[in-house]
Structure 1
Amino acid sequence: MIATGTCFMRGDEVERDSSVRGIVTFEWDETEEVVIKGTIEGLKPGKHGLYILTLGNISNGYSSSGMHYNPCEKKHGGPQDDERHVGDLGNIEAGDDGVAKFEMHDRLIRLAGNYSIIGRTLVVTENEDDLGKGENEGSITGGNAGKGVAWGIIGIANK
């Protein structure tokens, strides 16, 4: 059985005059990894952090969605690190055209059961995530990646 999730992302056009938007899909066949595929456009060229936040509340933008999804109470890290939040997905990279097309695999997130991301918020940030390698408090809690530029709630697409 394959479960899929989808997230339609967009920025706050009123407050930030943002044209960032995209779609990210999640596929899980109940094996070891979830496949994450996406296209996000309107980004500045370069790397941008990608995170799953604890709540699915975007009533006040992504800031009402809580902190990085971290049920194991670990420090912030990269997707391949043992010490990381479940919601730490690393970086995506936008080309000179402002478009980031990506595919990644993650070993911690799930679409059901423990560590389920369904109903949580996905956010892409304005800057690169330092993956917890900076030597300051901002690094070990959020990667010094700056504010969110687009976000959305992850929903069930097929199960």
Structure 2
Amino acid sequence: MKTLPVLTLLTAAIVATGCASYGSGPTAEAVMQPTAGNTTNGVVSFKQSGDKVLVSARITGLSPGLHGFHIHEKGDCSAPDGMSTGGHFNPDGKKHGAPGHSEHHGGDFGNLSADSNGNATLNLTTSQITLDPNAANSIIGKGLIVHADPDDFVTQPTGNSGKRLSCGVIRLK
């Protein structure tokens, strides 16, 4: 009869330990703001877990369909069209391409898929970037852009994703 409370406490301790180790890496966030004439906004969270970064995006105000989604080299959203963020973040000097392929920029996150209400979510894991501000492949202080058109994964160096609908700067939390 006394085994059940002991097992419950033991299970709770194991779960708490697992959650604590998962939550021990640095986190960052980009609050996405619409560029001039657009309504696209949202929040993108980043979580370092070992040598991988977990990316979780919640974006609203999109037209239904696919939209290119990339980290850009400069954390500057001052231009009304978002062009102040520069080109794609590419610390390894690779060609533009789809995430998961050997040739793609560290900042190539592929496409967001917006539903009929203009809402999109994306969850991905990558080992090409880090939240360590001292590393060459750090995304801290970089820009994040949601584009109007789908990334075709072929056109160099941008993926032909069109204008920039929303801009955010990745900051440590």
Unaligned segments of structure 1, at least 5 residues = 133-138
Count of matched residue positions in the alignment of Structure 1 and Structure 2: 147
- Structure 2 residue aligned with 1:42: 61
Identify the structure with the greater helix proportion.
2
- Whether the aligned pair in 1 keeps the contact of 2:53 and 2:127 (CA below 8 Å) is yes
Which among 22, 33, 37 is matched to residue 10 of structure 1? 33
Greater strand fraction, Structure 1 or Structure 2: 1
Match of 1:72, SS state, is: coil
Superposition pairs for residues 1-159 of structure 1, below 5 Å? 1-12=24-35, 15-16=36-37, 18-29=38-49, 31-61=50-80, 62-112=82-132, 113-132=135-154, 139-157=155-173
Contact 1:51 1:87 in 2 (8 A): yes
Give 1:81 shift.
Answer: 1.3
CA apart distance, 1:32:
3.1
Q: Deviations over 1:2-53 (max 9, x none)?
A: 11000000112xx32x111100000002x23211111100000011111000
**Whole-Å separation in 2 of the counterparts to 1:148 and 1:109:** 22
Given the two structures, how large is their TM-score scaled by the length of structure 2? 0.81
Give the ranges of 4+ consecutive aligned residues of structure 1 lying more than 4 Å apart after TM superposition: none
Larger Rg belongs to: 2
Instruction: Report the Cα distance in structure 2 between the residues aligned to 1:57 and 1:24, rounded to whole angstroms.
Output: 16
Q: What CA distance in whole angstroms lies between the structure 2 residues aligned with 1:109 and 1:118?
A: 10
TM-score normalized by the length of structure 1: 0.88
